[in-house]
A and B are shown apart, each in its own frame.
Chain A
Amino acid sequence: MEKTWNNKAWFLVLPVLLLVAFSAVIPLMTVVNYSVQDTFGNNEFFWAGTDWFDDILHSARFWEALQRNLLFSFIILILEIPLGIFIALNMPKKGIGVPVCLVLMALPLLIPWNVVGTIWQVFGRVDIGLLGYTLAALGVDYNYVRDPVDAWITVIIMDVWHWTSLVVLLCYAGLVSIPDAYYQAAKIDGASRWSVFRYIQLPKMKRVLLIAVLLRFMDSFMIYTEPFVVTGGGPGNSTTFLSIDLVKTAVGQFDLGPAAAMSIIYFLIILLLSWIFYTVMTSSDADA
Chain B
Amino acid sequence: MARITLDHIRHAYGPNPKSDAAYALREVDHEWADGGAYALLGPSGCGKTTLLNIISGLLQPSHGRILFDGNDVTNLSTQERNIAQVFQFPVIYDTMTVYDNLAFPLRNRGIAEPDVDRRVREMLDIIDLADWSNRKAQRLTADQKQKISLGRGLVRNDVNAILFDEPLTVIDPHMKWVLRSQLKRFHKQFGFTMVYVTHDQTEALTFADKVVVMYDGQIVQIGTPAELFERPSHTFVGYFIGSPGMNVMPAEVHGSTITLGSETIALDHAPRIAAGDKVELGIRPEFIRIGREGMPVTVTRVEDIGRRKIVRANLAGQPIAIVASEDIEFPAEPRVTFDPGALNIYANSWRVGREA
Contact = CB atoms under 8 A, between A and B. Distances in A.
Interface stretch (B28-36, B102-110, B193-201, B268-276): B102-110
B91 A182 contact: yes
Interface stretch (B75-83, B279-287, B341-349): B75-83
Nearest to A287: B136
Interface residues of B, number: 29
Interface string A189-207: 1111001000110011000
A188 B96 contact: no
- Most A CB contacts (10 A, CB to CB) among B53, B79, B83, B135 go to B79
A181 interface: yes
A190 B138 contact: no
Nearest to B100: A199
B56 interface: yes
Contacts of B89: 179, 181
Given A181-B88, A187-B79, A189-B104, A200 B93 contact: yes
Given A184-B58, A184-B85, A199-B96, A190 B79 contact: yes
Nearest to B58: A184
Contacts of A9: none
Given A287-B136, A288-B136, A288-B139, A188 B78 contact: yes
A269 interface: no
Given A181-B87, A199-B93, A187 B104 contact: no
Contact of A185 (B77, B79, B91, B94): B91
Given A179-B89, A181-B88, A189 B108 contact: yes
Chain A interface helix/strand/loop/mixed? helix
A188 B85 CA distance: 7
B84 A288 contact: no
Contacts of B58: 184, 187
A187 B77 contact: yes
Nearest to A181: B87
B297 to A, nearest CB: 49
Contacts of B139: 288
Nearest to B82: A190
A281 to B, nearest CB: 13
A189 B136 contact: no
Given A195-B108, A288-B136, A187 B95 contact: no
Interface string B299-328: 000000000000000000000000000000
B109 A188 contact: no
B108 A203 contact: no
Given A179-B89, A181-B91, A199-B95, 9 more contacts: A184-B87, A185-B85, A185-B91, A187-B79, A189-B108, A189-B152, A190-B109, A191-B104, A203-B94
Interface of A: 179, 181-182, 184-185, 187-192, 195, 199-200, 203-204, 287-288
